Amino acid sequence: MFAEVFLASTLQIGPFWQQWDGHKALCPFWSHESVPETQQRAEADTTDVLWPVFTSHRDWWRFCILMHYQEQKEVGYQFQIIPIWFNGRDAKRGGDYWGLFPIWGHHPHFLLMYDWDFCLWPVWMRYRMPRPKEHRWMTSNVVLFPFIHWRDDGSWGVWPICGTAHQRESDHSYAIWPLATWASYREDRDTPGAGRSWMVWPLYASVERERESQTMLLPPFFSWVETRSRLSLKRNLEPSTGSRLRCPWPIVELEDNENRNRVSVFPLYERVKLKDYADGKAESDVTRFGWKLVEIYRDRQGAVEETRLFPFWTKGRRYFRFWPFWSSEAVDDRGEVVYSRSLNIIPVHWIDAIDRNWSPYWTLYESRSNPIYTDHSLLWGIIRWRRFND
């Protein structure tokens, strides 16, 4: 009898032990979840020990957030103890690497930097960054970060006294930053075009470009922007203009252009209509009250997709939450399988690690329904029943 119990495919003993469909858990001390390769998800083949103390995945593990190890397929591995130590192997970018921060180190890819070298940081460091539009790499050298730097494209700076930075479509300069800054722009398809800008902070700023004119008083608090978009040419429409008023930012903002319409009176009210790039029609519409306490989302036809009253109420086409008493969600692509539970005290959408290790303690009732039947579980599986749909 006991062998049959422990070999059962589905087994639940109160909130402590759970076992079903590749999931096993001795909550909150240990849990393991695995699924077939044909159904792999981001959380598959995951083991937790006193989460968030330790978590391991197919190719990585993490201890107390600060210690992390990860294997990189056909490349190597990396190990780090944040923020003092890292080492690894990157066969594609130069083999083994290591670093003892802030003494010395080399890392092939850290944050947004590639081939990052440092010695007695912040005394000296060097790194590279890609410039895809220019089809090249840019190398930067920094001494006494963030005060002195120079780049191989001619950019340099002695912050905050003076400096200049070159980009593919613009050149930026400053003197006694941020009191005086100015820039010149070249024609580019992804920007408002050629022109110039300058600012004497905190008094006044001006931008004059081919497709943008902007005036700022006490920047960034008061500004008026007029844009002349060329997207209308792609849609065979008459050239259109747009505008944006901030008076003062971030309290009042009015915007109307080919990308979106926005009315904002922070933190009381906001409505944003995003427009489709191809045809200029409304793609989505969201209305907010009390910043993000109340949100209403609409689709292109104006139908309500989702309503939120944070954290108490959330209702979408595939998800519903009445916090902390009830939540339900369609868990398959067609919305035919619905999983429901009560209680659900986490005031955000389900978090997999919490769901595996902690939620059984407050989940008194669960149900899983499909077009044929609905399975119910009450008091951690002590009471179970199935009801067939008519």
Residue 350 lies in a domain: no
pLDDT at 44: 60
Containing structural domain, residue 298: 260-308
Candidates 268, 223, 271; CA nearest to 249 is: 223
pLDDT at res. 7: 43
Which helix (H) or strand (E) segment holds residue 72: the answer is strand 67-72
Number of domains forming the structure of the chain: 1
Do the domain assignments include residue 270?
Answer: yes
Q: How far apart are CA 147 and CA 167, in angstroms?
A: 20
Handedness of CA 42, 44, 47, 50 (dihedral sign): positive
Q: What is the pLDDT of residue 8?
A: 45
Residue 286 inside a domain? The answer is yes
Residue found under tokens 């209509």 = 273
C-alpha to C-alpha distance for 383 and 186, rounded to whole angstroms: 71
Whether residue 291 is predicted with pLDDT greater than 60 in this model: the reply is yes
Contact status, residue 274 vs residue 283, Cβ threshold 8 Å: yes
Q: In angstroms, what CA-CA distances link 194 with 15, 139, 165, 170, 208?
A: 65, 26, 17, 9, 9
To the nearest whole number, what is the mean pLDDT of the chain? 86
Q: Is the pLDDT of residue 93 over 80?
A: no
- In this prediction, residues 56-67 reach a mean pLDDT of 90
Q: Is-contact 193 202, C-beta < 8 A? A: no
Spatial separation of the C-alpha atoms in residues 186 and 193, rounded to whole Å = 6
Least confident of 14-18, 158-162, 165-169: 14-18
Tell me the average pLDDT across 118-146: 92
Q: Which of the residue ranges 36-40, 41-45, 198-202 would you say has the lowest mean pLDDT?
A: 36-40
Q: Which residues contact 313 (CB under 8 A, 6 or more apart)?
A: 307, 321, 322, 323
Give the three-state DSSP class for 210. Answer: coil
Highest mean pLDDT among 66-80, 151-165, 332-346: 151-165
- The answer to whether 158 and 146 are in contact (CB under 8 A) is no
Residue 157 lies in a domain: no
Q: Is residue 288 part of a domain?
A: yes
**Alpha-carbon distance 240 to 261, whole Å?**
14
Q: What pLDDT sits at residue 13?
A: 80
Alpha-carbon gap, residue 152 to 65, rounded angstroms: 37
Instruction: Flag whether 388 is in a domain.
Output: no
Task: For residues 348 and 317, give the distance between their C-alpha atoms in angstroms, rounded to a whole number.
Answer: 17
Is residue 196 a part of any domain in this protein?
no
Would the pTM of this model clear 0.75, i.e. be above it? no
How much is the average pLDDT of 353-373?
Answer: 87
| 116: amino acid identity, one letter | W
Phi, psi for residue 191 in degrees, rounded to 5: -130, 175
- The per-residue pLDDT for 358 is 86
Say which residues have a Cβ less than 8 Å from residue 303's Cβ, sequence separation at least 6: none
Predicted confidence at residue 111, as pLDDT, reads 87
Residue in 90, 85, 86, 84 with CA at minimum distance from that of residue 72 = 90
Tokens linked to 272? 């944003």
Supply the pLDDT for residue 80: 94
Instruction: Please name every residue paired with 201 in a beta bridge, in sequence order, or none if there are none.
Output: none
- Residue 268 lies inside a defined structural domain of this protein: yes
